[in-house]
Amino acid sequence: MSIKKIIAFGSAKGGVGKSSITASIGISLSKKYKVGILDADIYGPNQDILFSIDKRPEYTNKSTIKPVKKK
């Protein structure tokens, strides 16, 4: 399966709602499409909190991460 579209949200300023908007749009789009979210915030990733995900992703080898699925 290939990735068809990429939507990115970014800002140098913290606390402007990037994570909240990402989660909201992801939930909305997931009603019609398959959606993946990558939280690349190295200082404060919090998509796991917004989606109530408790488990960590699995590493299949040194260069591949198996994504956590949430329905």
Q: Which domain, by its residues, includes 5?
A: 1-71
Who's near 11: CB < 8 A, 6+ residues apart? 18
The model's pLDDT over 19-58, given as tens digits with 9 standing for 90+, comes to 999 999 999 999 999 999 999 888 888 999 999 999 888 8
**What pLDDT shows up at residue 19?**
93
What is the value of pTM for the model shown? 0.80
**What pLDDT shows up at residue 51?**
93
DSSP character string of 38-50 = ----SS---HHHH
CA 7 to CA 53: how far, in whole Å? 22
**What pLDDT shows up at residue 48?**
92
Q: Residue 7 corresponds to which tokens in the numbers above?
A: 């939507």
Name the domain count of the chain: 1
Q: Say if residue 70's pLDDT is above 90.
A: no
Q: Residue 12 corresponds to which tokens in the numbers above?
A: 């140098």
